[in-house]
Each structure stands twice: as C-alpha cells, then as structure tokens.
Structure 1
Amino acid sequence: AAGIAVAVVPGVTAAQGAAASLSVSLTARGVARRVQYVTGHDRDARLPDDLDGAALADPSVTTVVYMPRKTLPALVARALAAGLPPTTPAVAVANATRTDERDVITTVAALVHDIDALTTGPCVVIIGEAMRAAARDGCSDDLSPYSSRGRACMTAMRNSAAARV
C-alpha cells in the first residue's frame, strides 16, 4: 500500500520444525486437543504478567514457548502453581531445523536445569502429553535423517555396523 514491494514466503514455524525433527505431533487424539503458542518474555525481558497460569496447566493442551531461557523458572513455577503435573513431558530445542539443532527431552520439573545442556542458539520449549512420544528411548525408523536426533541415530548405527566388521 505504501509502494513497498513485499513477498510472502511460505515456511514452517520453529515449533513445527522442532516437532517434525523429533517425529512427534503437536496434537494427539485423546491427549492434546489444541496447541497454544506463547512468548517467553515481554519487552522488558520478563515473563508477561498476563500469561494465564490455568491455560499453561491445561493437560489437554500442548504449550509452545518461544525464547524462554531467561524466564523459564518463572514460567515453570506459574504452570506448576496452577496445577500442571511436574511429570508432564517437556522438550527444549535449540536452533530448530538447523544442522546444529540440539534437543533436551525431560519433564517440566527438571526443565529449568536440563535446558542448560543447550548452550547456544534460539530456543523453543514444547510442554505437554503429546511430547511423551519424544521421550521414548532408542532410535526409530520414523526419525527424520534431517534432525539432530535422526543424524545421531544414523551415526550410531553406522559405527555399530563398522565395529561388527
């Protein structure tokens, strides 16, 4: 409208890319009926005051938190105080969809400490029962070879095969 050229480029969000890399869905029939996206901080780098604790604690929701590193302790405290079970699965993914993507699969109670393993890069946190599928141990055939976990599994399988020769 102001004479500025604009191009719309379709893509995926960091949350969708992170979930795809983990080979999990953000929703799951009978487990997670909806997804909510929230910011991890306001303009003053604090947890937003209007972030609804009851919504964060809803067990039928997958909550995606963008860039929460500095406010994660306050966010987790608010969710737990509102009734979110501490054993709720949680995944933190740094550099989602990039070749240096890293993830930590944990619980809400341990998330504040476990996220320290992700030392660099923008981070997205995904909380909810739909993430329980990400917590399964081992490598599966449905892991994307483009994800950090898929590449790690492929490397482990190659190393194992080479050791047997």
Structure 2
Amino acid sequence: MRLLLALPLLAFALPAAAQTAPQAADVPYVTPLGQPPISTMVVEPVAMMLAACDADGDARVTRDEARACLARSFASTDTAGAGSLGYIAYSDWAERYLGDRNALPSPFETDIDHDNRITLAEMTAKIDTIFDRLDRDRDGILVRAELLTIRPGGFDRQRKRR
C-alpha cells in the first residue's frame, strides 16, 4: 500500500530532478590545474611530413622541395631498387615518414593502376594532390599555418570531437 502512495510522488519528482541535473554536453570541459589546454589545432601526418621537407630552412615548402623529399624517402624504402613498393613496403614507408603504418594516404588510394605496386610517380601524384589541397592561397608554397587543421572547440580528453 505504501508503494502505491509513493508512486505518484516519484512521478512528480523524477521530471523535476531530470530538468535540474546538468547534462554532460552542457557542462564545458575545464582542464585540471597544471594540465595543458584542449588542443584546437592538429596536423595531418602527411602535412607533418611535408613540413619536414623544408630543405633550405625558410619555414616554407615548395612543390620542388616536397617532390625531392618524397623521392629521397621513396629511395630509402625501395632498398632493392625495384622502382616500386609493395603494400607492405609502403606501410614501412608510412610508418617511418608519416608516423604510422595506417596513416593516410593509404596504399589503395595511392596505387593508381591497381597493380598492388606503388611507383614514385604514383606517390608523387598523390602527394601533389594533397599539396594542392593544403595550399590554401594557391601560391605553390606551403607555410606552417596551411599545414595546421583548426578544430573549433578542440578535442576532449577521450579524443572525442566536441
């Protein structure tokens, strides 16, 4: 009997409690003291590689610098001198120069003729496409600001996009 009397009270109390409780999306994430702020800028692995292609140290990467750097990195992976890389060797290249075997561009999108081999010409074509996308002012030179991706609101500590 007491349970029956308590049910109507719960019916009124639960909606009120639900309205007053802060929702996780409503509460901004505040970093603990001593912790760095939430990142709002990130860099794609291929953009990080392109930044390292700055041969003359002027903090600007030309298309010629990017192509020369790519040729050197390709040659360092093509140790047999075959002129092409299989997908496993491409993954080795990606791990060394992009930081992860699964970083983009993938071998599947780079292998234009789908012969399961990636040539320097195919890699150059793919990197040229990425270079064009990153070169926002279309001047043929990548500066550091063009290599950054800005994420409004940043990422929270669980790496979820806000």
Q: Please say whether Structure 1 and Structure 2 have the same fold, judged by a TM-score greater than 0.5.
A: no
- The structure richer in helix per residue is 2
Larger Rg: 2
- The structure richer in strand per residue is 1
Give the TM-score normalised by structure 1: 0.27
